[in-house]
């Protein structure tokens, strides 16, 4: 138990004045509270029982009163227990649930790509929104509602509404409301361009789980250079701050490419200042025929090493070195979970295991979600190997913990020598201190 940063207390005559920055609350307590506050400040790792034992030896008849006071301080976040300031176990719980769905061949999450239209023109984007049928042939509101109903009947838990830019769909809020009513955990991924007061109010009222925003630099010049839209940084930032201020789970999503590499540190710093988690991927998708992923990937070992060192610094990831036995367990895991507990549906109803697989398993307007999911899951189970079986080198590779081999990319190109994936994995291993 300890007094968190942001809480201060001061003696004022025979009273104790307490201020909590995080909750913006002030308290005026009896002077006797000062002794308990002093004890907690001097013993930041003490437990509640230890505190009560200490004061019980001094004040035999005040044990219950002190206990009630401590409970009140914990409730008001003036004191926090150890589990409150350690890393939240929520991610571990979600991971366990996802694993249970994977083992039982059940659909856990659905990626619903509502549109490929977008207000930005990002240099690295793999989505082709130039086709004339792009908007005309999009699924209707009723089509998506039918898909959501069917997915929920399979037991699907989460749905991510993404694009393109989802705000270009006038029915976004209706679909979010409908998904929430069905019992889905709903996440939204957007640039924020096109956000209005009405949309903001409705998404907040719907109790969406989170809203993630695309940002490619910590300032307007670097971000707008990637999006090709002047003023896009300011609009994204404003929308993001609105959700953050409203208490909605708010995240920054980005990608590390050659064109924004020098702006990534500024992006991490922005997230730190705003207390918004920044997640930066190094994976570049394939899509438009005239865009080569190699033109955007960091590619060189030196750039990957700098990036992962930067990520380690700002994310404060603590990853202990793995023993040979622990690495063997990693090698026995599946290469990826695409199509094993998740699936993607594009704006026209075509279904896929993930964003990287380009061959559709069928259209959701023709076949039912249950049938489509069964087909995707069955094929994925046959095609996705465990790590050690991917290439001969994988069975002994010491960088396996940070290997992010994309099976779809593996099938499209000759990856027998691991290529760029190994360069990246080596850099991550070095940055996170895994070499023993």
Q: What value does the mean pLDDT of the chain take?
A: 84
Look at residue 412 in the predicted model and tell me its pLDDT. Answer: 53
Whether residue 419 has pLDDT greater than 80: no
More confident residue, 156 or 401: 156
- What's the gap between Cα 272 and its chain centre? 15
More confident residue, 283 or 171: 171
Rounded Cα distance, 186 and 109, in Å: 10
266, 219 in Cβ contact below 8 A?
A: yes
**Residue 38 in 3-state DSSP?**
helix
Burial class (CB in 10 A: 0-12, 13-18, 19+), 129: middle
In this predicted model, what pLDDT tens digit does every residue of 11-41 receive, in sequence order?
A: 877 888 888 877 778 888 888 888 999 999 9
DSSP secondary structure letters along 129-152 = --STHHHHTPPPHHHHHHHHHHHH
Look at residue 136 in the predicted model and tell me its pLDDT. Answer: 74
Look at residue 122 in the predicted model and tell me its pLDDT. Answer: 92
Look at residue 60 in the predicted model and tell me its pLDDT. Answer: 65
| The total number of residues written for the chain in this structure | 436
Look at residue 435 in the predicted model and tell me its pLDDT. Answer: 38
- Token look-up 């060189």 returns 300
Whether residue 83 has pLDDT greater than 70: no
Average pLDDT of span 341-357? 93
User: CA nearest 85: which of 150, 14, 202, 6?
Assistant: 6
Q: At what angle do helices 232-245 and 264-274 cross, to 10 degrees?
A: 30
In this predicted model, what pLDDT tens digit does every residue of 243-268 receive, in sequence order?
A: 999 999 999 999 999 999 999 999 99
DSSP secondary structure letters along 198-264 = HHHHHHHHTT-SEEEEE--SSSHHHHHHHH--TTHHHHHHHHHHHHHHTT-EEEEEEE--GGGGGGH
DSSP annotation of 373: H
Task: Give the least confident one: 27-31, 151-155, 272-276, 416-420.
Answer: 416-420
% pLDDT > 90, the chain = 42
* Contacting residues for 219 by C-beta, under 8 A, at least 6 apart: 233, 263, 266, 270
Look at residue 31 in the predicted model and tell me its pLDDT. Answer: 84
In this predicted model, what pLDDT tens digit does every residue of 391-410 receive, in sequence order?
A: 777 777 777 777 766 666 65
Look at residue 85 in the predicted model and tell me its pLDDT. Answer: 40
Look at residue 410 in the predicted model and tell me its pLDDT. Answer: 59
Look at residue 318 in the predicted model and tell me its pLDDT. Answer: 57
Look at residue 91 in the predicted model and tell me its pLDDT. Answer: 65
DSSP annotation of 160: E
Rounded Cα distance, 128 and 113, in Å: 13
Look at residue 415 in the predicted model and tell me its pLDDT. Answer: 52
Look at residue 274 in the predicted model and tell me its pLDDT. Answer: 93
More confident residue, 239 or 32: 239
Look at residue 436 in the predicted model and tell me its pLDDT. Answer: 35
In this predicted model, what pLDDT tens digit does every residue of 308-331 receive, in sequence order?
A: 888 888 876 656 566 777 777 777
Average pLDDT of span 158-178? 96
Q: pTM for the whole thing?
A: 0.78
Q: Residue 85 corresponds to which tokens in the numbers above?
A: 């300031």
Whether residue 88 has pLDDT greater than 50: no
> SS3 helix, strand, coil % of the chain, rounded to 5?
45, 15, 40
Average pLDDT of span 76-82? 82
Rounded Cα distance, 80 and 7, in Å: 11
% pLDDT > 70, the chain = 86
Look at residue 163 in the predicted model and tell me its pLDDT. Answer: 92
Q: Residue 272 corresponds to which tokens in the numbers above?
A: 């730190």
Average pLDDT of span 54-82? 80
**Residue 399 in 3-state DSSP?**
coil
H or E element at residue 42: helix 33-42
**Residue 350 in 3-state DSSP?**
strand
Look at residue 87 in the predicted model and tell me its pLDDT. Answer: 41
**What are the CA-CA distances from residue 109 to residues 88, 156, 168, 317 (Å)?**
22, 6, 23, 26
**Ordered alpha helix ranges (H), 87-171:** 90-103, 133-136, 141-153
More confident residue, 396 or 414: 396
Kindly give the pairing relationship between strand 351-352 and strand 342-345: antiparallel
More confident residue, 406 or 53: 53
The number of beta carbons lying within 10 Å of the beta carbon of residue 342 is 24
H or E element at residue 420: helix 419-431
User: CA nearest 296: which of 282, 279, 306?
Assistant: 282
In this predicted model, what pLDDT tens digit does every residue of 102-121 receive, in sequence order?
A: 888 999 999 999 999 999 99
In this predicted model, what pLDDT tens digit does every residue of 191-237 receive, in sequence order?
A: 999 999 999 999 999 989 899 999 999 999 999 999 999 999 999 99
Look at residue 397 in the predicted model and tell me its pLDDT. Answer: 76
Look at residue 408 in the predicted model and tell me its pLDDT. Answer: 66
Whether residue 289 has pLDDT greater than 60: no
Q: Facing residues of 109 across strands?
A: 158, 342
268, 261 in Cβ contact below 8 A?
A: no
In this predicted model, what pLDDT tens digit does every residue of 129-139 receive, in sequence order?
A: 555 556 678 99
**Residue 395 in 3-state DSSP?**
helix
* Contacting residues for 229 by C-beta, under 8 A, at least 6 apart: 119, 120, 121, 193
């Amino acid at each position: 138990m300890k007094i968190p940063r942001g809480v201060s207390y001061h003696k004022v005559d025979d009273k104790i004045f307490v201020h909590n920055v995080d909750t913006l609350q002030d308290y005026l307590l009896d002077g006797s509270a000062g002794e308990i506050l002093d004890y907690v400040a001097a013993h930041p790792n003490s437990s509640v029982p230890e505190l009560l034992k200490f004061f019980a030896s001094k004040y035999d008849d005040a044990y219950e009163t002190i206990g009630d006071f401590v409970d009140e301080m914990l409730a008001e976040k003036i004191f926090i227990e150890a589990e409150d300031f350690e890393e939240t176990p929520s991610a571990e719980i979600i991971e366990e649930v996802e694993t249970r769905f994977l083992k039982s061949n059940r659909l856990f999450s659905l990626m619903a790509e509502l549109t490929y239209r977008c207000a930005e023109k990002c240099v690295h984007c793999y989505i082709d929104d130039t086709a004339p049928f792009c908007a005309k042939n999009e699924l209707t509101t009723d089509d998506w509602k039918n898909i959501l109903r069917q997915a929920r009947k399979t037991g699907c838990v989460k749905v991510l509404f993404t694009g393109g830019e989802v705000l270009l769909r006038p029915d976004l809020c209706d679909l979010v409301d409908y998904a929430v009513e069905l019992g889905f955990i709903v996440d939204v991924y957007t640039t924020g361009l096109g956000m209005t007061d009405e949309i903001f109010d409705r998404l907040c009222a719907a109790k969406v789980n989170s809203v993630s925003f695309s940002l490619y630099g910590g300032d307007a010049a670097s971000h707008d250079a990637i999006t090709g839209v002047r003023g896009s940084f300011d609009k994204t930032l404003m929308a993001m701050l609105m959700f953050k201020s409203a208490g909605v789970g708010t995240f920054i999503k980005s990608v590390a490419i050659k064109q924004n590499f020098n702006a990534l540190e500024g992006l991490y710093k922005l997230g730190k200042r705003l207390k918004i988690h920044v997640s930066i991927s190094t994976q570049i998708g394939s899509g438009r025929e005239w865009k080569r992923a190699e033109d955007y990937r960091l590619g060189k070992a030196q750039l990957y090493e700098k990036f992962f060192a930067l990520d380690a610094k700002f994310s404060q990831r603590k990853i202990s070195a793995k023993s040979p036995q622990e690495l063997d367990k990693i090698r026995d895991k599946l290469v990826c979970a695409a199509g094993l507990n998740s699936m993607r549906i594009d704006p026209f109803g075509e279904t896929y295991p993930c964003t990287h697989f380009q061959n559709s398993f069928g259209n959701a307007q023709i076949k039912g979600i249950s049938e489509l999911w069964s087909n995707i899951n069955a094929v994925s189970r046959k095609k996705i190997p465990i790590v050690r079986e991917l290439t001969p080198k994988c069975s002994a590779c010491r960088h396996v913990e940070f290997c992010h081999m994309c099976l779809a990319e593996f099938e499209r190109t000759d990856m027998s020598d691991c290529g760029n994936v190994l360069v990246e994995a080596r850099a991550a291993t070095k940055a996170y201190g895994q070499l023993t």
